[in-house]
Amino acid sequence: MTGKESPLRDLDWRAASPVLVLVLLLTQVGLYVWMAQRGFEFTDESYYFLNYLYWRDLIGTMSFFGAYFEWPFRMLGQSVPAIRIFSLLLLLASSAFFTREVLGYVSRREGSSRETPWAFMVAGMAASMFYFGHLSTLRAPSYNLLALCSMLLATGLLLRLLERGVLFTNARLTVFCYGLAIGACGLGKASSGVMLVLLHALFFVLANRDWRLRHLIEFLVLSLAGVSLNFVVLQLAHPQWLEELREGMVLVSMDGSHNLLGSVKSFWWKVQALAPTFLAWTLGAGVTVALLARWIIRSRRTALSVLVVALVVGSLFGLINAMDAPNSTTLPGSAKLIWWKIHAFVPTFLAWTLGTGVTVALLAWWIIRSRRTALSALVVALVGGCVLGLIWGPEHWWLPLLGLAVLLLWSFEGLSRKPFRLVRGDLTDFALMALLFALPVAFSFGTNMPLLEHSQMAAVFAITALLLRLLRLARLGILAPPALVVCLAALCLPALVIQLRAATDVHYTYRQLSALGEQSLPVHLGAADNTLRVDAATRETLQSVIGAARAVGLAPGRAILDFTGDGPGLIYALGGRPLGTAWLLGGYPGSQTIAAHVVEKLPAQALRNAWLLSSDNNPRAIKDWQQLLNARLGPDAHELVATVHIRAPYRWGENAPDSLSVQIWKPRVAALAEGK
């Protein structure tokens, strides 16, 4: 630990490291591209497709992501595999820019002119593919992708603007593009956009060095101009967008699936539940690292003793706090509950045990040879345990796990100072780390899913914080080059496992009947006649619905109002045009109210001319849709012309049937026209 920076580009491993990390990234990309033509998702992803094509025709929406992805989708010939690959390219490009700017920002603040080693950029790109982890088979661009890419670009641009000597070439263009990214995030996902602005403002106050009034006004005006351009283009493309947004807010208030206050409370309860175990691990691991790193040069026996004691105490403390007190008062009931608690905790415990076990073994073997080797082994084991926790541990642990790893790696830097002390740059360093760990929460803010689990889609922010710490350790001479290679490669593995699981295990897919790698049967669907590869049950479902619809005269391009509650995929497969809303959500407390509101808002003639889809046994179906239409149009405005029984693409509730009925209703005005 010399405290002197080691120029990475002059080391012998500089050619080998990027190759190894690049191979892992290309493997992920290859798997993703191979699976791009496989799988058809009937709900969320089909909803995205309909939004690209018909976002102007909706009566209400809270997100205008369709406006951003309409032309890419149309220019790609409405190809589903192509737009899925477009998602990947957009994600990789924005994450590469973000990683480069974050690592470059810290280097430039320290007076270094070195470029970010591209092995780190590749590792950051690999980390961005965590986006496909939580909802693994939703691969088409969505409001989530637009929000994430905008947040990556905006944060990278902000860091570029905050570096020393902000008056660089094209600084004004950079500020304008920053505003452009902020505006895109807000129009794609308003809750994330608001949180992003708040977090950036706080970081700006802590990290900005140029407080000249002229500079601040220029920054504000140009960034607002960038934000405004989004709204100007949206106004030109769709003059009624504001009315559509207002109506979207009304629909969301009726929905019952999005409760912002409930989401915040749930997140806070989750934090409270995780805090004891996290603090226990922090205590155990913190004592280990601090004492070992400080004493390793003094006494081998003392160092190993401290290591073993801290690991044992931390592990026991963590296990005790991870297991809640059993509710049962009987001995057999308590024993059974304790067993289930242990069984649930095994993945995380094994990950940490393996990681710390490797630490002990390597240190015991190497501690007498080289202090640097011993510390490098400790870092590798720490990163390895973190990676194993990301792969096999509970999803809600991912953010505390990475936070602990970053905290411990930072302690290596602090303990390398003689004497140990905090320096002026630490405040900005802490602020940057806090920003990177807060951004995943901002990304998921407002979701109707568990926030911590959902935020793993934006894990690239937190993993970049880990990459920053590894780069610092390497430049300080604490981390040996071979150990750095291993760490970078290890950080690519969790995202690779995500792709492998989606290809081989149906339990890691989202609303699919089989793993993507097993879906090989071609099927043609949609107005653009897309060819996708699906499983046998899904192909039979699609072919039977499309065949029945064509037989009764439902041609592509006809307006369809879906009352099945989860029919975006049926509308898209039929090549239909959604009437009023791309997805009339069923199964939520406010679903019936929303259906009544949509029927009331739609023009009567449009309702009379529309084809209808319904179901009498789908648990998400709108139950009283006929009464709603009869009240608006009078009786017998539509006639039942076909009923198809399909395999349920997913289960909604415990008692959901395996087979669903889909009823096709024809407008009588069309039938009368055909009879003349």
pLDDT tens digits, residue range 421-431? Answer: 666 667 888 99
In a domain, 304, yes or no: no
pLDDT number for residue 483: 82
Query: Is pLDDT above 70 for 516?
Result: yes
DSSP 339-401: HHHHHHHHHHHHHHHHHHHHHHHHHHHHTTT-HHHHHHHHHHHHHHHHHHHHHHS-GGGHHHH
* Whole-angstrom distance, CA of residue 59 vs CA of residue 57: 7
Q: Does residue 233 share a domain with residue 84?
A: yes
In a domain, 266, yes or no: yes
Confidence band, pLDDT 50/70/90 cuts, at residue 64 = very high
661: amino acid identity, one letter: S
Of the candidates 488, 508, 528, which is a domain's last residue?
A: 508
Label residue 542 exposed, middle or buried (CB < 10 Å: 0-12, 13-18, 19+): buried
Q: Does residue 579 share a domain with residue 480?
A: no
Select from 314, 468, 295 the least CA-distant residue to 375: 295
In a domain, 408, yes or no: yes
Q: Does residue 409 share a domain with residue 545?
A: no
Q: Does residue 256 share a domain with residue 116?
A: yes
pLDDT number for residue 407: 81
Of the candidates 462, 483, 508, which is a domain's last residue?
A: 508
In a domain, 316, yes or no: no
Weakest mean pLDDT among 98-112, 196-210, 374-388, 551-565: 374-388
Label residue 347 exposed, middle or buried (CB < 10 Å: 0-12, 13-18, 19+): middle
Query: Is pLDDT above 60 for 492?
Result: yes
Select from 380, 452, 454 the least CA-distant residue to 412: 380
Query: Is pLDDT above 70 for 8?
Result: no
- Average pLDDT, integer, range 589-597: 90
Q: Does residue 576 share a domain with residue 501?
A: no
Percentage of the chain modeled with pLDDT above 70:
75
* Paired residues of 647 in beta bridges: 659
In a domain, 460, yes or no: yes
pLDDT number for residue 391: 81
Q: Does residue 547 share a domain with residue 487?
A: no
Weakest mean pLDDT among 109-118, 214-223, 390-399, 508-517: 109-118
In a domain, 222, yes or no: yes
Q: Does residue 398 share a domain with residue 358?
A: yes
In a domain, 624, yes or no: yes
pLDDT number for residue 412: 73
Confidence band, pLDDT 50/70/90 cuts, at residue 332 = very low
- Average pLDDT, integer, range 577-582: 94
In a domain, 419, yes or no: yes
Q: Does residue 216 share a domain with residue 132?
A: yes
Of the candidates 446, 476, 508, which is a domain's last residue?
A: 508
pLDDT tens-digit map of 537-569: 999 999 999 999 999 999 999 999 999 999 899
User: What's the domain count of the chain?
Assistant: 2
pLDDT number for residue 368: 44
Q: Does residue 435 share a domain with residue 363?
A: yes
Q: Does residue 26 share a domain with residue 129?
A: yes
Residue 551, domain extent: 520-675
Q: Does residue 103 share a domain with residue 163?
A: yes
Q: Does residue 601 share a domain with residue 460?
A: no
Label residue 126 exposed, middle or buried (CB < 10 Å: 0-12, 13-18, 19+): buried
